[in-house]
């Protein structure tokens, strides 16, 4: 897999070296055991896989090259390039402007753009409708397109399903940029609908089986289905794809459930005529990060810190996994660790910031799981680790410890 030119201020001297060391030891990624960094007063436990993925590094490289190669030109980000405030803030500090927010709400008018401007498409991709608007202005939406190749893989698979007369069921969050983009690209060639979780998939299954009336489909899913969706015929042949940042295990569980629904309705012998196998649409990076996080659940730790943007879907799912076993705090950077007694963190289900006291246990040594989402620079983990270490007595020099560990 190719390497990318990433700005040096995103490169880590500590966590980055640990990741490179593990990669050299295990190039085929068969060992999911975590890495333990013993700093005396505190031990940090790192997942085997975390941080920037292929798609994110590709997006960062394209964006910073656009800045470097186009001095004096106006450069716009269609929306947040990735869901990390540190990266987006750095880009806007260099003169970039956002056209939309993450939900597609306009922050400026399209009329303010001209054919001479540069518009960068985010890693999540964008809708065909937005591409058409840019083309009408005279801007080529593909010239600075950072859409993740694994998102495009989902689009291509959806197109194949449409060609074979399948309806595409998208597992995702309807307001998320990637899901909106996938829905738009899918809808040009196939009926499509969105389910957000297993509960909605089960409800859809009951409609397919006739346990709920067809009219219930439009009440429940009409806003998140293609125009003219006919539940009486469009649910006869289906395939499931996903927003790549969702829990891969949940996507597979939804697909497995709907397959069993179709078997109940149509029989096992003819199942391929009614249900398409789409396992190949699951993102490798999301899988790797989630599998490595599941391995962390076996660790003996006092708490977990998960670092990432609060609107990052893949990061929220890491929090969801870890909080099953540990007190888990979702933070965007080291500034959220206000003291050894107080931490500010994000309650993702409630979408609000909370402050917790007595978050750090008194026992020593302390063991902390430290990981991050796919859009989080490793340097942020360095800073979080150093922030915690500065609050404890008897800590060892992390540079020396990392050096002795990696040789």
The CATH class, in words, for 54-137 is: alpha beta
The answer to whether residue 287 scores a pLDDT higher than 90 is no
CA–CA separation, 224 vs 208, rounded Å? 17
pTM score: 0.88
Tell me which CATH code domain 152-243+246-281 carries.
Answer: 3.40.1010.20
Q: Rounded to 10 degrees, what is the CA torsion of 325, 29, 39, 293?
A: -20
pLDDT of residue 280: 65
Please give the structure tokens belonging to residue 401. 């410890």
pLDDT in tens, 214-251: 999 999 999 999 999 999 999 999 999 999 888 888 99
**In whole angstroms, how far apart are CA 131 and each of 135, 175, 181?**
6, 18, 10
Q: Are 292 and 257 in contact (CB under 8 A)?
A: no
Of 311, 330, 303, 323, nearest in space to 375 by CA:
311
Q: Residue 118 is inside which H or E element, if any?
A: strand 118-120
Cα 291 from chain centroid?
Answer: 14
Q: Are 377 and 332 in contact (CB under 8 A)?
A: no
Please give the structure tokens belonging to residue 266. 């149509």
CB-based contacts of 242, cutoff 8 Å, min separation 6: 154, 170, 171, 172, 248, 251, 281, 282
pLDDT in tens, 367-376: 999 999 989 9
Strand partners, 347: 352
Of 57, 177, 178, 250, which is the active-site residue? 178
Q: Are 78 and 99 in contact (CB under 8 A)?
A: yes
CA–CA separation, 319 vs 403, rounded Å? 30
Q: Are 167 and 192 in contact (CB under 8 A)?
A: yes
The answer to whether residue 281 scores a pLDDT higher than 80 is no
* Percent of the residues in the chain that have a pLDDT greater than 90, as a whole number: 85
More confident residue, 280 or 284: 284
Q: Are 330 and 313 in contact (CB under 8 A)?
A: no
pLDDT in tens, 179-195: 999 999 999 999 999 99
Q: Share the mean pLDDT of the chain.
A: 94
Domain edges within the chain: 8-53+285-406, 54-137, 152-243+246-281
pLDDT in tens, 306-341: 999 999 988 999 999 999 999 999 999 999 999 999
> Strand order in 35-38's β-sheet?
35-38, 42-46, 366-372, 303-307, 328-331
The answer to whether the 8-53+285-406 and 152-243+246-281 domains have the same CATH topology is yes
pLDDT in tens, 30-82: 999 999 999 999 999 999 999 998 889 999 999 999 999 999 999 999 998 78
Cα 121 from chain centroid?
Answer: 16
Beta-carbon neighbour count of residue 358 at 10 Å?
10
pLDDT of residue 1: 60
The CATH class, in words, for 8-53+285-406 is: alpha beta
- Under the phi-then-psi rule, with left for phi > 0, alpha for psi from -120 to 50, and beta for the rest, what region is 394? left
CB-based contacts of 254, cutoff 8 Å, min separation 6: 169, 171, 195, 197, 198, 201, 240
Active site residue 178: yes
The answer to whether residue 386 scores a pLDDT higher than 80 is yes
CA–CA separation, 282 vs 370, rounded Å? 25
């Amino acid at each position: 897999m190719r390497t990318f030119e990433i700005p040096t201020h995103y490169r880590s001297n500590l966590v980055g070296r640990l990741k490179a060391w593990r990669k050299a030891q295990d190039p085929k990624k068969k060992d999911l055991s975590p890495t333990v960094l013993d700093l005396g007063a505190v031990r940090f436990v790192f997942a085997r896989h975390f941080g920037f993925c292929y798609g994110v590094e590709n997006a960062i490289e394209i964006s910073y090259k656009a800045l470097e190669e186009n001095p004096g030109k106006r450069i716009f980000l269609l929306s947040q390039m990735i869901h990390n405030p540190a990266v987006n803030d750095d880009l806007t500090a260099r003169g970039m402007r956002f056209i939309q927010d993450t939900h597609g709400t306009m922050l400026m008018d399209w009329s303010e753009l001209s054919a001479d401007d540069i518009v960068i498409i985010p890693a999540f991709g964008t809708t065909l409708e937005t591409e058409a608007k840019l083309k009408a202005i005279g801007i080529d939406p593909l010239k600075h397109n950072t859409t993740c190749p694994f998102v495009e893989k989902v689009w291509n698979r959806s197109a194949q399903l449409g060609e074979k007369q399948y309806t595409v069921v998208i597992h995702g969050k309807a307001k998320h940029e990637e899901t909106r983009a996938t829905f738009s690209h899918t809808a040009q060639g196939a009926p499509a609908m969105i389910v957000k979780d297993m509960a909605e998939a089960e409800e859809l299954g009951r409609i397919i089986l006739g346990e709920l009336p067809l009219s219930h489909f439009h009440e429940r899913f009409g806003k998140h289905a293609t125009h003219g969706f006919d539940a009486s015929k469009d649910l006869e042949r289906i395939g499931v794809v996903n927003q790549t940042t969702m829990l891969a295990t949940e996507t597979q569980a939804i697909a497995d459930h709907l397959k069993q629904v179709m078997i109940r309705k149509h029989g096992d012998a003819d199942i391929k005529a009614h249900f398409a196998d789409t396992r190949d649409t699951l993102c490798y990076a999301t899988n790797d990060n989630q599998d490595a996080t599941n391995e962390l659940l076996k660790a003996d730790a006092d708490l977990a810190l998960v670092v990432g943007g609060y609107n990052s879907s893949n990061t929220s799912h890491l929090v969801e996994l870890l909080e099953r076993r540990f007190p888990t705090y979702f933070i965007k950077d080291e500034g959220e660790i206000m003291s050894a007694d107080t931490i500010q963190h994000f309650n993702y289900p409630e979408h609000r910031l909370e402050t917790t006291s007595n978050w750090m246990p008194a026992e020593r040594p302390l063991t902390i799981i430290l990981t991050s989402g796919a859009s989080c620079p490793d340097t942020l983990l360095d800073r979080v680790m150093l922030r915690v270490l500065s609050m404890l007595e008897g800590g060892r020099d992390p540079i020396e410890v990392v050096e002795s560990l990696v040789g």
